[in-house]
Amino acid sequence: EASDPDLVERARAAKAALGERVFILGHHYQRDEVIQFADVTGDSFKLARDAAARPEAEFIVFCGVHFMAESADILTSDDQTVVLPDMAAGCSMADMANINQVEDAWEQLAEAGIADRTVPVTYMNSTAAIKAFCGRNQGVVCTSSNAEVAMRWAYDQVGGVDGDGKVLFLPDQHLGRNTAVLQLGLALEDCVVYDPRKPYGGNTPEELERARVILWKGHCSVHGRFRKENVDAAREKVPGINVLVHPECTHEVVTGADYVGSTEFIIKTLDAAEPGSSWVIGTELNLVRRLANAHPDKDIHFLEDTVCFCSTMNRIDLPHLVWALESLVAGDVVNRIVVDEQTQTEARVALDRMLALPA
Ligand code: 13P
Ligand code: SF4
């Protein structure tokens, strides 16, 4: 739907008034009305890498969700201010793991005698406190763009993928399982799910001992909705269609797809696709709609029939962006994201390990 021309003009004017003082980052799941004002768009890896690209910018306005803005605060200098236009833009997956639960789980793994052979790997979609936990405990951060290399790195710290070391993967069980099984060649039976509400995560100490991958019981409420039946229905409707999904989808959906990857991968795959080819895409709807508009020469479908936006990504709308920018013009910083010093220092260790991984 078209955005309010008055608000578009106000956003343009406020951005122009701030000039080089502001740097606007936009995740691919953002609304069109917001993404048009981003200086850089990307998946969460690219945005983490690019957050520090404008050290001279006083303000970083992050059009994405809370954990991404926290990472931007960690990765930029102390005199740069990060603003999230709506504080309610959280992530239901990141909310599925809090630091106290993770510390408890780590104690239980120590009781089971395996913590010293376990490397924590946290998906970017987690709080800064959990990234700091990984920094303190020889762990690493990953995104959907580099989960395979990050997990290999983690196993290398404890004797390699073929040894008896383990990975505790937080908080997305699907990305953890899909990466371990489809990219590292581990077996489905090597994976256990850790439910933080149950002793030993709902496993016996022996089951934890046998496991190679301990998957936190978290998932994405958007990607978790796609079903294998949606894939089958798409193939039936359009014979020869290419199925392209995000690795936050369930293992069944991912194994039923032809291509799997991060939002950046999805965009590049469609850029390289043959004109006339047919695609069905399993990711957030703002991005799928934008791709369909950008590729009128390709036949692009959404994997599910119902509307599938990420409701928290969508909280960043044009009125919030205008409010944040106009406040900055008026000398008033609203919705500043600040990660405390100690958390920053420890989380930075885990983020830097990720940024140092081979591409
Ligand atoms: P990427 O940006 O890594 O593709 O992840 C998608 C996502 O769900 C972000 O919240
Ligand atoms: Fe979180 Fe999923 Fe939304 Fe990404 S798409 S912000 S993982 S709820």
Band of pLDDT at residue 304, cut at 50, 70 and 90: confident
Average pLDDT score over residue span 122-129: 98
**pLDDT over 70 at 214, yes or no:** yes
Q: Which helix (H) or strand (E) holds 58?
A: none
The pLDDT of residue 284 is: 94
On average, the pLDDT of the chain sits at: 96
| pLDDT, mean of residues 298-321 | 92
In the CATH scheme, what is the homologous superfamily, with its name and number, of domain 223-302? Answer: NadA-like (3.40.50.10800)
**pLDDT per residue over 151-186, tens digit each?**
999 999 999 999 999 999 999 999 999 999 999 999
1 has binding-site annotation: no
For ligand 2, pick from 68, 312, 315, 316 the residue to mutate: most ligand atoms within 8 Å of CB: 312
Percent of residues, the chain, with pLDDT higher than 90: 97
pLDDT digits (tens, 9 = 90+) for 2-58: 789 999 999 999 999 999 999 999 999 999 999 999 999 999 999 999 999 999 999
- Decide whether any atom of ligand 2 lies within 6 Å of the 316 Cβ: no
| Contact call for residues 213 and 167 (beta carbons, < 8 A) | yes
Q: Would 5-91+313-339 and 94-219 be classified into the same CATH topology? A: yes
327 burial type by CB count under 10 A (0-12 exposed, 13-18 middle, 19+ buried): middle
User: Is pLDDT at 331 greater than 70 in this prediction?
Assistant: yes
| Domain 94-219 class in CATH | alpha beta
Cα–Cα distances in angstroms (integers) from residue 306 to residues 6, 290, 309, 317, 333, in the given order: 31, 17, 10, 21, 38
Q: What's the CA-to-centroid distance between 64 and ligand 1, angstroms?
A: 10
Average pLDDT over residues 238-249: 97
Using 50, 70 and 90 to split pLDDT, how confident is the model at 262?
A: very high
* Domain chopping of the chain, boundaries: 5-91+313-339, 94-219, 223-302
5-91+313-339: which CATH topology?
A: Rossmann fold (3.40.50)
Structure letter (DSSP) for residue 148: H
Confidence of residue 251 (pLDDT cuts 50, 70, 90): very high
The predicted structure's pLDDT at residue 307: 72
Q: Of the residues 44, 223, 283, 309, which should be mutated to test ligand 2's pocket, given the most ligand atoms within 8 Å of the CB?
A: 223
Instruction: Answer yes or no: is the C-beta of 221 below 6 A from any ligand 2 atom.
Output: yes
Ligand 2, pocket-test mutation among 66, 125, 172, 283, most atoms within 8 A of CB: 125
**Which pLDDT does position 1 carry in this prediction?**
62
Distance CA(95)–CA(59), nearest Å, equals 26
Ligand whose nearest atom lies closest to the CA of 247: 1
Centre of ligand 2 from the C-alpha of residue 186, in Å: 26
Q: Which amino acids bring their CB within 6 angstroms of ligand 1? A: 43-45, 91, 125, 143-145, 220, 248, 262-263
Nearest ligand 1 atom to the CA of 125 is 10
Whole-number pLDDT of residue 359: 80
* Torsion sign (Cα): 145, 123, 183, 225: negative
Looking at residue 5, what is its pLDDT? 95
Do the annotations mark residue 247 as ligand-binding? Answer: yes
